[in-house]
Structure 1
Amino acid sequence: MSDNRIYTDRDCVETGSGCSLKGKVVVLKESALEAGFGRQLYYCTGGNGANGNALGKSVFLVNLKNGEFERCTRDHVLGVLKPELLPDEEKLQLSQIRPPGALPLENHEPQYSGYSFLEDGRYAAGVWLCNEKEAMEYVEMQKPYQHRIMLCDRNDFCVWEVRCGMQVYPPQEKLDEMREGLVENPGPMQL
């Protein structure tokens, strides 16, 4: 189980102050554990220290054990975890995170639900997504880490599926048309 493992720079695809952290699973240094952080693996949602060569220090995180929001300083971060090293339990917790900047569910009607599946078929509850932009962002944030990602509409029909990082439904041409439509016309559109 990942609780006992100590991750090092060899487990990271990028390290140092030059790497961007936002939207990625990050590894905290061992010194962060000594400073009171109980784990090393977190999902970075942003902060003025999350960009490469950032002038700020704050990094906003989601704990991949319990889903709670936390904050650390950039110097506590070792780097970005290699996606293939993310343990299954943390993948399931990651699948429950809505994209950074997602609209509040209290004021907006969800149009989609996002699901991410482990290779053995396990998955956690779906995540509500309010519009096409959030749906696409959910897929992009999950793609490096999840075996299978599926978006369903309000009627629970599959409208988008990705397996092993490759899109299987709808065909790529249809997705390109949808993305182009979102840029040219940010109004409602059918996914």
Structure 2
Amino acid sequence: MYYGYRYEADGRYHAADYIESAQEIMGYLKAQKRKHPQVRITNSDDHIIAETKNGHIIFPEYVAVADMLDEVLEDPNYDPEKFVRELAGSNIIYEGYLPADKEDAVYLLQSLYSQYIRYYKEG
């Protein structure tokens, strides 16, 4: 059992939304991330398990990368500058080459996703 909290810019938040399963979390984040300045998902122990800020998933990082990958794949017009802004908005620190095309962006995101998953499994 999980709870979704939608915050307004002044810090007030709406009553918690009940989220039944882990499978529903990503859909909730995607549906709410651009409607509210901040969204948090907590578990039944009130630990934050996912968070968005200003339209970007920022925690956990592998979910942020998975969300970016979905958006890159859905967008027919890849824009390298937008890609960089999305990385920064999701608090993903990356100092390597910047993908010039969609194929390179997908490869980079898949690599980052694998690294974050490995990190979470080890941590």
TM-score calculated relative to the size of structure 2: 0.49
Give the structure with the larger helix fraction.
2
Give the structure with the larger strand fraction.
1
Larger radius of gyration: 1
TM-score calculated relative to the size of structure 1: 0.32
Greater length-normalized contact order (CA 8 Å, ≥ 6 residues apart): 2
